[in-house]
Amino acid sequence: MRDLFVTAVILGSIPYIIKRPWIGVLMWSWISYMNPHRLTWGFAFDMPFAQIIAIVLVLAIVMDKSKKSIPTDTTVMIWGMFLFWITVTSIFAMFPSSAWVLYGKVMKIQFVTFLTMLLITDQKKINYLIWIIVLSIGFFSVKGGVFTLVSGGGYRVWGPPGGYIEENNSLAMATLMIVPLMVYLFQITPSEKKWLRYGIAGAIVLSLLSALGSQSRGALLAALSVSGYFWLVSSRKLITGPLLVFLVILGISFMPDSWHARMETIQHYEQDESAMGRINAWQYAINVASDRFTGGGMQSWKLESFLIYAPNPEFVHAAHSIYFSILGDHGWPGLLLFLLIIFMSWMNLNWVIGHCPETDSAKLAKMIKVSLVAYCTGGAFLSLAYFDLPWHLYAIAVLLRHQNSNNGLVGALNQPRPRFGH
């Protein structure tokens, strides 16, 4: 039944995508984040649904005669340079055949993300996209929160099979990134929709429990950073501070001894094999980037390359860091472009907050900044440089500034807020 249901929903969306291409972005995002077909056990499990939707989406765009254009701001230009550069680094990769496999996967994500900037043209569509992201990842974070409650936090929470966030650490990071988006949805939900607001509030609490239940040390550091940032930007610091401290203490006190034992290894990283493996991989990334202008190329983290560049050649380990992953894959130029994209996205969000105060755009911009704080801090210890979500957030930052600078959202912002599903 699951196979039939998932297949019917996805294939049934095709006529709507042909009529309204932007729906294709929503469908592709749902499939990419949630991997619903991987929750089946039959014929749908290995169906290339994302590829099917992408092909239909492109055909729908070609058939659609309305005028479209991607915003051309500094962020998009630097973004384009980054994509060009990773193409160059793949050409000169240490292991070209392996590099091109990951390159193809990354470019598919980037292609649809650029289509997002082409098709998601107003606040209503942006809100729909936020809902899709939250519901897709939230399905696992809420379920994980319930599991953490039932199990007493004694077991790790895992993500959807076959995706970027399958691993417990990755799901925890994605969860912390969508919690601010949940807060945004709570803020824009009318007070008369009290049950929906209760549902969102409950999802926030369960998602935070899920992040703790992942037993991810990187997620703990990210959660503390997000809490600190929330307090820093809060207009009611005397209320927010004690409340955050209480929630942190309450959450940590709920977790079992096994969780505390794992978190305590942060203080004694030199005794932790995983931590030392990461440090060895980080030094490898610095060495390969310093020796090769284009870095090692994607998928270069192998014994052959570690024998040349790593302090401990036989301790082959993934970087587990967005920064060192990019550095090792694409060299210093790649890391510079990667950081510039994040910086320019932050500046776009600041612009929206400063020029459009008290609007839904500003509320969303503030929450995206919190999401990026989670990504930039927790990502220092996770290999999620190519994960869809941060790139979607960069795209939304571009759209928010572009649409507001052209007064494209002024009318929409004064209208009743869109209801999801209508």
Q: Where are the domains of the chain?
A: 1-68, 69-268+318-413
Confidence of residue 408 (pLDDT cuts 50, 70, 90): very low
Report the pLDDT value the prediction gives residue 258, as an integer from 0 to 100: 64
Confidence of residue 151 (pLDDT cuts 50, 70, 90): confident
Report the pLDDT value the prediction gives residue 239, as an integer from 0 to 100: 77
Q: Average pLDDT, whole number, for the chain?
A: 87
Confidence of residue 413 (pLDDT cuts 50, 70, 90): very low
pLDDT digits (tens, 9 = 90+) for 325-342: 999 999 999 999 999 999
CA triple 384-215-209, angle to 5 deg: 95
pLDDT digits (tens, 9 = 90+) for 101-118: 999 999 999 999 999 999
Q: Give yes or no for residue 422 having a pLDDT over 50.
A: no
pLDDT digits (tens, 9 = 90+) for 302-314: 999 999 999 888 8
pTM: 0.90
